[in-house]
Chain A
């Protein structure tokens, strides 16, 4: 065990992990986060807190992570390199760890042009791979990114990274994943999977390189509420592939929501059979209360107790 992370412990014990996601609110009240944590903590092993996702100003992921912690959940704070330079990133890592947060997911973040402050200046002093390396060096080398030694009380994060098997160039995606693992990623959460064939091909390449033995790969799934939402993701969300067959199923269903849940459960059951998949990450955007149903129906309840 590299860290005191509960997520690391569950993964290292070989359990098929379930993580969820909570988007912090666009205001300064944490009630929603606490409610979601209380509702989900028995159904997921960890909860991601997004960092101003789609570049929209929200309650900070670190603060949200602390609320999750206090409500009895296991937070994974997301950290993007869009808004902070290496000084601020390292400072926030120290701060987050001091508040009891043990997991961090390193991302480059959505470009600010997507959000509600398109006139903002982005930072991108470092990229997501470099951030992984920074977090690892703080933990394992006990030094800051400038090389200066961190004499004591280094932050010992369980380090996460993202992988998107649906972005291009496809052949390079596994190589980039390997670069992230070499940089220090302990676990990987993938983009939401709809194109299972492509994901299978991706995992075959992952196994060829033994990457599943070097990091825990958690597959992303996303329950879809309506055909319209599916169509939107297919057309308008970059780095996402939504096959026509899935949209057709939801379109033809008498109860689209139930069909969306059914598809998601099928996907999870299928993912469990793929060698090298260590868990699922359920991204139920604005539909967090469906997570318990999905976890139960996928046969993943109850969750392991430590």
Chain B
């Protein structure tokens, strides 16, 4: 899923400082699961902002709506009923995708309440880690299911580099060396021969480097 975390309250407050009434939009997708932008977090943020403005003597009116997802037009459409004239600003608690979907659909100023961090998963309650670099051309079959592109600090495809010591990456003693992990796993699976061949240059045009990407499936299009 997409992992996100809340922007600092002061930053969000600054983004809406001229608004008197805001619509806070939570998202029931990934950011609900990673406890950053679901219904509960939307409620908390609304309460924080209201009190902050109350203390400043400049009360803020809030409306809270949590959509099933902000990355599907069907759900984004459901916001239309709540968007009255007097709303000065929409605060989206979705990832960057949701923020943009709202901005594309509605003629209102939309600001993000979250920083979208990475594609990852929950390793323990309250701890999320990055796993996928979204490079557009998966090579996990070559590396024992461990992605060097996102888990190696240098994204090197022929690792490990000289900075790998005691299983850790040189950038941080808490960061495991992805190539040590790959090596250990391939060794355990008796597939170390996969590491003998030089991995050629990667085609980054499949990644973001090729420009904004699009997936089109003619078979599932409706018209």
Contacts and interface: CB of A to CB of B under 8 A. Distances in A.
Contacts of A16: none
A27 to B, nearest CB: 27
B167 A111 contact: no
B160 A168 contact: yes
A162 B170 CA distance: 16
B40 interface: no
A145 B61 CA distance: 59
A110 B172 CA distance: 13
A82 B154 contact: yes
A238 B180 CA distance: 14
Interface in A65-96: 82, 86
A191 interface: yes
Given A108-B156, A127-B159, A172-B160, A133 B198 contact: yes
Contacts of B160: 167-169, 172, 176
Contacts of A130: 157-158, 198-201
B208 to A, nearest CB: 12
A169 B156 contact: no
A125 interface: yes
A164 interface: yes
A35 to B, nearest CB: 30
A122 interface: yes
Residue of B161, B164, B201 with highest tally of chain A CB at under 10 A: B161
B170 A238 contact: yes
A168 B165 contact: yes
Given A108-B161, A111-B163, A124-B156, A169 B183 contact: yes
Nearest to A178: B196
A168 B164 contact: yes
A175 B196 contact: yes
Contacts of A109: 154
Contact of B171 (A86, A108, A111, A172): A111
B154 A168 contact: no
A113 interface: yes
B183 A239 contact: no
A108 B154 contact: yes
A126 B201 contact: yes
Interface in B124-164: 153-164
Size class of A's contact patch? 35 or more
A87 to B, nearest CB: 12
B198 A129 contact: yes
Interface residues of B, number: 31
Given A129-B198, A172-B183, A172-B195, A162 B154 contact: no
A127 B152 CA distance: 12
A106 B204 CA distance: 21
Contacts of B81: none
A109 B199 CA distance: 19
Contacts of A166: 165
A19 interface: no
Interface in B175-223: 177, 180, 183-184, 195-196, 198-202, 204
Interface in A181-213: 182-183, 191
Contacts of B161: 108, 127-128, 167
Contacts of A113: 153, 171-172
A183 B172 CA distance: 30
Given A113-B171, A124-B154, A172-B160, A167 B165 contact: yes
B190 to A, nearest CB: 15
Nearest to A86: B201
Contacts of B184: 169
Given A128-B156, A130-B198, 19 more contacts: A108-B154, A108-B161, A110-B163, A111-B154, A113-B153, A113-B171, A113-B172, A122-B154, A125-B204, A162-B162, A167-B160, A167-B165, A168-B165, A169-B183, A179-B158, A238-B163, A238-B168, A238-B170, A239-B163
Interface of B: 153-168, 170-172, 177, 180, 183-184, 195-196, 198-202, 204
Interface of A: 82, 86, 108-111, 113-114, 122, 124-130, 133-134, 145, 162-164, 166-169, 172, 175-176, 179, 182-183, 191, 238-239
17 contacts: A86-B201, A110-B170, A111-B153, A111-B154, A127-B161, A129-B199, A130-B199, A133-B200, A134-B201, A167-B160, A168-B180, A169-B180, A169-B183, A172-B195, A238-B163, A238-B164, A238-B170
